[in-house]
């Protein structure tokens, strides 16, 4: 279980500029529980269209890592995302397992878990096991999408196909993710609303084994001026401050440069979730 934060802007800006310092502090505070590392992917001013996104990763808690503060307050980009990791039990806390994952010009981060772990290689198409750099379910999920894209499918088609297959053949809690491409930033909201952690489980507080955090996998986005921010739950995202919910089983696309936005339903391409 992890936390996700993404931004796009007409002109390059920092994460702190896009989100606001107070909200960034609140998001960073979530790393006290989501303490198994952090990563950031972004496009910086002057990057060529063919360049892959810039990426930094650390296995340290973001709140204790000066580099995290440096990047989120100083690194400028027109599109990017941040990931706080809370490692799935059984998956080591090492750099190769730290999001974001990169393949060619694509960068990806995931919030959720896919079971059973002993069958995770079945997610990968034939010939793609050699592209793995770590051991996570998340990287396999990403490479399955990348494989469809390499065959010429669109992002919508690729994401829909992979989500349908994982929900049908595996047992995921959530496939929420951020995908950064040369053209756009994508937010994937696809989770099982019945499989959320106990209240307090994401903040280090005392958890109740019977009361569930029903908003844990919710994603919200906010349009403000010339920037758009997307974020996981865990800090205040009030309607009066401009935050809007992204529906479950939806794919949000924000075009780089223009900020042209579209939302596609993923529901027709996925197996029914448990209720």
pLDDT above 90 for 200: no
Report the pLDDT averaged over residues 106-133. Answer: 96
pLDDT at position 206, please?
45
**Residue-averaged pLDDT of the chain:** 92
Whole-number Å distance between alpha carbons of 254 and 224:
14
* Domains: count for the chain: 1
- E strands in the chain: 3-13, 38-43, 54-58, 77-84, 101-103, 106-111, 114-115, 171-172, 176-180, 184-189, 219-224, 227-232, 243-246, 250-255, 261-265
Instruction: Please provide the size of the chain in residues.
Output: 275
102 lies in some domain: yes
For 127: left if phi > 0, alpha if psi spans -120 to 50, otherwise beta; the answer is left
- For residue range 219-246, list pLDDT tens digits in order: 999 999 899 999 999 999 999 999 999 9
198 lies in some domain: yes
What does the block give as tokens for 172? 């995921």
28 lies in some domain: yes
pLDDT at position 199, please?
76
CATH number for the domain harbouring residue 78 = 3.60.20.10
- What are the distances in angstroms from CA 197 to CA 99, 113, 115, 149, 202? 21, 12, 16, 32, 8
What does the block give as tokens for 98? 């730290």
24 lies in some domain: yes
pLDDT at position 210, please?
65
94 vs 200: which has the higher pLDDT: 94
Is the full-model pTM beyond 0.85?
yes
> Could you tell me the pLDDT band of residue 201, with boundaries at 50, 70 and 90?
low
- Classify the C-alpha dihedral 182-61-72-1 as positive or negative: positive
User: How far is residue 236 CA from its own chain's centroid?
Assistant: 19
202 lies in some domain: yes
> Could you tell me the pLDDT band of residue 83, with boundaries at 50, 70 and 90?
very high
| Parent domain of 206 | 3-269
Report the pLDDT averaged over residues 150-160. Answer: 97
pLDDT at position 136, please?
97
Closest CA to 29 of 189, 177, 202, 187: 202
166 lies in some domain: yes
pLDDT at position 260, please?
97
42 vs 211: which has the higher pLDDT: 42
Burial of 160 (0-12, 13-18, 19+ CB in 10 A): buried
pLDDT at position 211, please?
83
Whole-number Å distance between alpha carbons of 61 and 85:
9
275 lies in some domain: no
274 lies in some domain: no
| Residue found under tokens 């758009």 | 228
């Amino acid at each position: 279980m992890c936390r996700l934060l993404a931004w796009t802007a007409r002109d390059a800006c920092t994460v702190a500029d896009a989100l606001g310092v107070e909200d960034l502090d609140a998001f960073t505070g979530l790393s006290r529980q989501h303490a198994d590392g952090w990563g950031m992917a972004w496009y910086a001013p002057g990057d060529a269209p063919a360049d892959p996104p810039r990426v930094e990763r650390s296995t340290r808690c973001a709140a204790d890592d000066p580099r995290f503060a440096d990047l989120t307050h100083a690194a400028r980009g027109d599109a990017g995302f941040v990931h706080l990791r809370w490692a799935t039990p059984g998956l080591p806390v090492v750099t190769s397992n730290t999001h974001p994952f990169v393949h060619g010009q694509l960068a990806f981060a995931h919030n959720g878990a896919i079971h059973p772990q002993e069958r995770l290689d079945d997610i990968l198409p034939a010939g793609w096991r050699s592209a793995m750099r770590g051991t996570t379910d998340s990287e396999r999920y990403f490479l399955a999408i990348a494989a469809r894209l390499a065959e010429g499918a669109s992002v919508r088609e690729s994401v829909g196909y992979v989500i349908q297959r994982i929900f049908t053949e595996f047992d995921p809690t959530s496939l929420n993710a951020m995908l950064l491409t040369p053209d756009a930033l994508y937010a994937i909201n696809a989770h099982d609303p019945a499989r959320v952690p106990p209240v307090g489980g994401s903040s280090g507080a005392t958890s109740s084994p019977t009361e569930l955090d029903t908003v844990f996998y919710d994603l919200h986005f906010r349009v403000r001026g010339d920037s758009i921010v997307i974020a996981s739950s865990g800090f205040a995202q009030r309607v009066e401050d401009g935050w809007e919910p992204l529906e479950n089983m939806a794919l949000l696309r924000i075009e780089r440069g223009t900020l042209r936005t579209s939302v596609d339903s993923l529901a027709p391409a996925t197996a029914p979730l448990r209720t």
